[in-house]
C-alpha cells in the first residue's frame, strides 16, 4: 500500500507506464521481459492506484493517528479547500490519496493524511488550475442556477438530478454542485422547485428488487419513482441489511471465537471447503449414506456457529450507508454456515431414520411414497433442530441426540397401520431435492432449485462461476470479491457478470456465454 502511494506521487498523467515497471514498483519483483504486452496511461494508473490503496486500507483497519499525522475527514478536507464534499471525492481520480481508517471508538471513516493532501496540492499544474470547480459559487451564479432550474422545471417534469445535469453542462459546474444549490434553495424557500422526496416505501423498494432480478434496468425504476439510480441502489442495499437484521441469528459461543486466528483455526484447510451439501444435491431415501467417521464433528459444529457469529458481528458494525461488498460477505457467511449444517444433518440422519423404523416396526421405504417422504421431512427437521443447540464439545453424542429427538417427535403420534405388503416404488420415487430453503432461517438468500438446476446448461466458464457463487457440487459459497480474485477481474465487473447470469438462469432466457460477457 505504501509503495502504491509513493508510486502515485511520481506518476505523470500523460505518460505511458509498462506493466513490468508497475509490478516492480509495487512488489519489488522484476518480471521477465515480455510477460506483459500492455502499458497503462498515467491518468488511468493514478485512478487505479488510488482505488488500490483505499481497498487495502479497508482490510488493514488502520488507526487514524499515524506517525505521518492525524487523518483528516472528508468534511474537514472540504472545509479547508472551500469546496463541496463530493468535489473532494471526485479528486481521487486526480491523485488525492484517501485511506479507510478507524477512530478511537473503532468507527471507520474515509480520511486523508496531511502529507498526502500537501502532495496533492503541490501538483497545481495537474489538479487545481485546470478546473473551475474548486472556486466557490457566487451569489449571482447561484441565483442564475435557481432561475434556470425553474425554467426547465416549468417546461418539463424533469427530476432534480436531470436538471442538475443540464445546468452543470451549461455552466461547466459539477452536477453535484448544482444539485446542492437547488436542494439548499428548496429547504429554505416555501416555493420549492422540486417537491421534497419522501423516503421510498418498503413496497417500492421490493418492486425495484424484483425488477432487477428479472433484468429490468434500475434506470426505469428511478424514472418511475422520480429518484436517481444511485439512490435506488442505496435503498436496495439498506433493504438487504433490513432483511439480514430480521433473521434470528443464534449460536453457541466458544472460547476460540475470541482468538485473532479464529478464522484460520476453524475454517482453514480443505475439510470445510469441499464435500458440503448444497441446493443442487438430492436425498435418496433408499440409499442414505452412513456417517463419515473421518469428519471432525466438533470442528464442523464450531465452524457453523462461528460463521453465524461472525456474520452477526459484521452486521452490527455496518455503517448507515453500507457497502455492497460488506453485505455480500455477511450473506456468504450465512450460506456457508447453512452448507455445513446440512452436511451435519446428513451425518445424523441415519440415526433419526433408525428411530423411525423402530417406531414403525419396518423400514421407512416400505411405506407408500407420500408417507415415506413425510417421515423423511420430519427426520430432516428434527435433526436440524438438534444442531441448533448442540455444543461442539458434545459432538460425539450427535447420533444419540438425533435418535432421541425423533423418538420424542413420534411419541405423540399413532403408528401407521401396517399394510399387507411393502409398497413398490419406481426408481426416483423416494428422492427429494435437498430442502435447504425450508431449513435455514435465511431462505431468501438460498437459490431456488428450479433455476439452480439449469447450471448444467451453462458454458464451462459461466458454470464454474455459478458453482463458486452458490456453493454447488459440494464447494462452499464464495463472495463476489473472492470469485473476482480467482478469475482475475474486479469485484464490480464480477458483480455485473453474476447479475446477468442469475437473471438468465431465473428467466431461462438464453444461456449463451458470449452474451453474458
User: Would you place residue 421 in the very low, low, confident or very high pLDDT band (cuts 50, 70, 90)?
Assistant: low
Whether 306 is in a domain gets the answer yes
Task: Fill in the DSSP letter of residue 34.
Answer: T
Exposure b/e, 488-514, CB count within 10 A at least 16 = b:
eeebeebbebbeebbbbbbeeeebeee
Whether 310 is in a domain gets the answer yes
Overall average pLDDT of the 159-178 stretch: 84
Per the document, the length of the chain is 517
Quick count: other Cβ atoms within 10 Å of Cβ 150? 15
Lowest mean pLDDT among 1-5, 36-40, 235-239: 36-40
Closest CA to 52 of 98, 119, 102, 110: 98
Number of structural domains (the chain) is 5
What are 356-413's pLDDT values in tens digits?
999 988 888 888 889 899 999 999 999 999 998 888 988 888 999 999 999 999 988 8
Strands 108-112 and 72-73: antiparallel
Could you write out the three-class secondary structure of 172-190? CCCHHHHHHHHHHHHHHCC
Q: What is the pLDDT of residue 322?
A: 87
Same-domain pairing of 103 and 116: yes
Give me the sign of the Cα torsion angle 273, 275, 277, 280. positive
Mean pLDDT, rounded, of the chain? 86
User: Would you place residue 416 in the very low, low, confident or very high pLDDT band (cuts 50, 70, 90)?
Assistant: low
Whether 438 is in a domain gets the answer yes
Whether 250 is in a domain gets the answer no
What are 98-136's pLDDT values in tens digits?
999 988 877 888 899 988 888 888 775 444 444 444 567
Same-domain pairing of 415 and 276: yes
Same-domain pairing of 43 and 67: yes
- Euclidean distance between CA atoms 337 and 235, whole angstroms: 27
Q: Cell triple for residue 28?
A: 519489488
Crossing angle of helices 175-188 and 139-155, rounded to 10°: 90
Burial class (CB in 10 A: 0-12, 13-18, 19+), 219: exposed
Contact indicator for 109, 76 with CB cutoff of 8 Å: no
Same-domain pairing of 213 and 291: no
Q: What is the pLDDT of residue 419?
A: 59
Instruction: Identify the domain boundary among 445, 470, 505.
Output: 445
Same-domain pairing of 480 and 511: yes
- Euclidean distance between CA atoms 92 and 444, whole angstroms: 37
**256, pLDDT greater than 80:** yes
Instruction: Identify the domain boundary among 399, 423, 445.
Output: 445
Q: What is the pLDDT of residue 132?
A: 44
Overall average pLDDT of the 413-439 stretch: 80
Contact indicator for 362, 422 with CB cutoff of 8 Å: yes
Strands 62-63 and 99-102: parallel
**517, pLDDT greater than 50:** no
Lowest mean pLDDT among 52-56, 98-102, 174-178, 323-327: 174-178
Same-domain pairing of 355 and 410: yes
What are 443-481's pLDDT values in tens digits?
999 988 888 888 888 888 899 999 999 999 999 999 999
Same-domain pairing of 440 and 347: yes
String of DSSP letters for 235-298? HHHHHHHHHHHTS-------GGGGSTTHHHHHH-SSTTTSS---TT-EEEGGGPPPP-TTS-HH
Quick count: other Cβ atoms within 10 Å of Cβ 358? 13
Overall average pLDDT of the 9-25 stretch: 88
Whether 278 is in a domain gets the answer yes
Same-domain pairing of 426 and 506: no
pTM for the whole structure: 0.65
Overall average pLDDT of the 140-148 stretch: 90
Whether 197 is in a domain gets the answer no
Give me the sign of the Cα torsion angle 160, 77, 46, 26. negative
- Euclidean distance between CA atoms 327 and 318, whole angstroms: 8
Whether 195 is in a domain gets the answer no
- Euclidean distance between CA atoms 517 and 507, whole angstroms: 17
Share of the chain above pLDDT 70, in %: 93
Whether 210 is in a domain gets the answer yes
Residue 23 structural domain: 2-122
What are 51-107's pLDDT values in tens digits?
999 989 988 888 888 888 899 988 888 887 777 777 788 788 888 899 999 888 778
Same-domain pairing of 419 and 455: no
**Domain containing 488 — which CATH number?**
1.10.10
**417, pLDDT greater than 70:** no
Same-domain pairing of 153 and 223: no
Contact indicator for 150, 181 with CB cutoff of 8 Å: no
What are 469-514's pLDDT values in tens digits?
999 999 999 999 999 999 998 888 898 889 888 887 887 655 443 3
Instruction: Identify the domain boundary among 74, 94, 122.
Output: 122
Contact indicator for 40, 17 with CB cutoff of 8 Å: yes
Same-domain pairing of 278 and 395: yes
Same-domain pairing of 275 and 424: yes
Amino acid at each position: 500500500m505504501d509503495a502504491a502511494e509513493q508510486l502515485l506521487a511520481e506518476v505523470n498523467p500523460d505518460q505511458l507506464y509498462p506493466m513490468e515497471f508497475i509490478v516492480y514498483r509495487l512488489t519489488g519483483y522484476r518480471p521477465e521481459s515480455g510477460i506483459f504486452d500492455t502499458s497503462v496511461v498515467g491518468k488511468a494508473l493514478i485512478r487505479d492506484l488510488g482505488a488500490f490503496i483505499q481497498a487495502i486500507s479497508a482490510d488493514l483497519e488502520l488507526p487514524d493517528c499515524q506517525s505521518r499525522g492525524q487523518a483528516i475527514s472528508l468534511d474537514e478536507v472540504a472545509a479547508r479547500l472551500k469546496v463541496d464534499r463530493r468535489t473532494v471525492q471526485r479528486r481521487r481520480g486526480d491523485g488525492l490519496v484517501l485511506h479507510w481508517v478507524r477512530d478511537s471508538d473503532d468507527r471507520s471513516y474515509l480520511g486523508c493524511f496531511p502529507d498526502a493532501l500537501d502532495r496533492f496540492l503541490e501538483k497545481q499544474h495537474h489538479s487545481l488550475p485546470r478546473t473551475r470547480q474548486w472556486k466557490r459559487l457566487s451569489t449571482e451564479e447561484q441565483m442564475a442556477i435557481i432561475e434556470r432550474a425553474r425554467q426547465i422545471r416549468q417546461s418539463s417534469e424533469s427530476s432534480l438530478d436531470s436538471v442538475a445535469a443540464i445546468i452543470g453542462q451549461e455552466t461547466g459546474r459539477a452536477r453535484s454542485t448544482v444539485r446542492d444549490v437547488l436542494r439548499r434553495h428548496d429547504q429554505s424557500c416555501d416555493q420549492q422547485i422540486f417537491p421534497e422526496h419522501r423516503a421510498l416505501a418498503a413496497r417500492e423498494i421490493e418492486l425495484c428488487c424484483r425488477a432487477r432480478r428479472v433484468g429490468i434496468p434500475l434506470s426505469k425504476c428511478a424514472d418511475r419513482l422520480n429518484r436517481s439510480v444511485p439512490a435506488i441502489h442505496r435503498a436496495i442495499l439498506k433493504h438487504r441489511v433490513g432483511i439480514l437484521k430480521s433473521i434470528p441469528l443464534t449460536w453457541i459461543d466458544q472460547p476460540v471465537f475470541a482468538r485473532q486466528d479464529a478464522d484460520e483455526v476453524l475454517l482453514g484447510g480443505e475439510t470445510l471447503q469441499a464435500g458440503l451439501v448444497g441446493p443442487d444435491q438430492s436425498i435418496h431415501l433408499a440409499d442414505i449414506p452412513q456417517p463419515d467417521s473421518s469428519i471432525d464433528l466438533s470442528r464442523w459444529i464450531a465452524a457453523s456457529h462461528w460463521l453465524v457469529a461472525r456474520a452477526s458481528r459484521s452486521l452490527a458494525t455496518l455503517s448507515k450507508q453500507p457497502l455492497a461488498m460488506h453485505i455480500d460477505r455477511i450473506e456468504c457467511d450465512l450460506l456457508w454456515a447453512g452448507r455445513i449444517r446440512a452436511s451435519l444433518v446428513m451425518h445424523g440422519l441415519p440415526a433419526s431414520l433408525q428411530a423411525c423404523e423402530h417406531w414403525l416396526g419396518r423400514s421407512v421405504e416400505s411405506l407408500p411414497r407420500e408417507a415415506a417422504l413425510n417421515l423423511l421431512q420430519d427426520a430432516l427437521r428434527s435433526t436440524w433442530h438438534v444442531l441448533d443447540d448442540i455444543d461442539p464439545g458434545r459432538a460425539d453424542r450427535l447420533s444419540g441426540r438425533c435418535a432421541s429427538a425423533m423418538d420424542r417427535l413420534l411419541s405423540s403420534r399413532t403408528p401407521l397401520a401396517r399394510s399387507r405388503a411393502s409398497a413398490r416404488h419406481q426408481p426416483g420415487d423416494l428422492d427429494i431435492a435437498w430442502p435447504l430453503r425450508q431449513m435455514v432461517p435465511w431462505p431468501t438468500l438460498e437459490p431456488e432449485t428450479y433455476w439452480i438446476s439449469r447450471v448444467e446448461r451453462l458454458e464451462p466458464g459461466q458454470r464454474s462461476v455459478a458453482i463458486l457463487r452458490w456453493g454447488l457440487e459440494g464447494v462452499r459459497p464464495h463472495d463476489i470479491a473472492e470469485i473476482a480474485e480467482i478469475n482475475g477481474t474486479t469485484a464490480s465487473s464480477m458483480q455485473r457478470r453474476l447479475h446477468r447470469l442469475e437473471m438468465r438462469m431465473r428467466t431461462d432466457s438464453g444461456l449463451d456465454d458470449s452474451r453474458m460477457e
